[in-house]
Structure 1
Amino acid sequence: MIEGVKTKKLKIIPDERGRLMEILREDDDLFISFGQVYMTTAYPGVVKGWHYHKKQIDHFAVVKGMMKVVLYDGRKDSPTYDEINEFFMGEYNPIMLQIPPYVFHGFKCIGTEEAILINIPTEKYNYDNPDEYRIDPHQNDIPYDWSRKDG
């Protein structure tokens, strides 16, 4: 796994009324700080990526549908430089993914309906000076193909 990336199996508490899923708690080993909580979605087959942050640490949890979240370690001084990790996250694999600064990340909805991702970053979004650095999801130097892999 890419240096600094961590996962946590999410706890689901069902009862006759529905279910509750804890994503990130202040007493978790993975908890660092809190900036904000936001939701983003992707339609079937849509890729959102690549981007990275210089300061912010992300905490992704897919709460509806399924997404393929892909990380690329472009940090030349990292022991996992040039490594790629794929995480299939969502209703069939409820995990929380912690993504460190300078690690490129993106995601693709792999289900037949819109998927919903919750992020709990360590920093609040700065509209005047965003800590977000983007590159095209398909035309870049990252050795990854977003196509479905059958076989």
Structure 2
Amino acid sequence: MTESSSYRKGQIHDVTVKPLRKFIDERGWLAELYRRDELDASLMPTMAYISMTQPGVARGPHEHRDQTDYFCFIGPSNFKVYLWDARTDSPTYQVKQVIYGGVDSPLMVVVPPGVVHAYRNVGIEHGIVFNGPNRLYAGEGKKEPVDEIRHEEVAGSPFQLD
């Protein structure tokens, strides 16, 4: 974590943001979340989970030392996604990026290790988020330390949500 709060707006190196295409027919819609032929092998999910976030509620900010997150924001609400590059060796060190995704703009967002991230449900409905991280939560058999550095309750943290 950096002690500086001088994050500037921009796009963060190694963060991938891709619109998810909805295939719509008379039954509803379908969206491909990931494909092995479109994803680097090192980023392939080793587990998957979905979470529901209530309107107005935020998750994060936190970061991982080794884990890459593979988020899909699909709705039925909308999210404001916050990213801060805290990697001192990155060409975009101290860049803050904000993205909107969800029902109005389905998105996939790849968040590499060292990029602090958070999201807030900015809609009026419960929101669903898919994550396919490339590491197991708490390792094999849930016997390892959790790879998560939490910033939510750190006084004076530069990682503030508006």
TM-score of the pair, normalised by structure 1: 0.89
Per-residue deviation, 1:112: 0.8
- The answer to whether the 8 Å contact 2:61/2:159 transfers is no
The match for 1:25 is 35
**Structure 1 residues not aligned, in runs of 5+:** none
**Structure 2 residues not aligned, in runs of 5+:** 1-10
The match for 1:131 is 147
Stretches of 4+ aligned residues off by more than 2 angstroms: 29-32, 137-141
Aligned residue-pair number: 146
Which protein has the bigger helix share? 2
Give the whole-Å Cα distance in 2 for the aligned partners of 1:97 and 1:27.
17
The match for 2:47 is 36
RMSD of Structure 2 on Structure 1 (CA): 1.6
| Letter of the structure 1 residue corresponding to residue 129 of structure 2 | L
Per-residue deviation, 1:138: 7.3
Pair 1:104-2:120 in alignment: no
1:64-113 CA distance string (max 9 Å, x none): 21011100011122111111011101011111000000100001010011
Per-residue deviation, 1:119: 0.5
The match for 2:8 is none
1:26-60 CA distance string (max 9 Å, x none): 11145622211101121111111111111111111
| Letter of the structure 1 residue corresponding to residue 126 of structure 2 | E
Give the whole-Å Cα distance in 1 for the aligned partners of 2:53 and 2:12.
25
Per-residue deviation, 1:141: 2.7
Pair 1:82-2:94 in alignment: yes
- The answer to whether the 8 Å contact 2:74/2:107 transfers is no
- The answer to whether the 8 Å contact 2:45/2:70 transfers is no
- The answer to whether the 8 Å contact 1:53/1:102 transfers is yes
Among 58, 62, 68, the alignment partner of 1:47 is 58
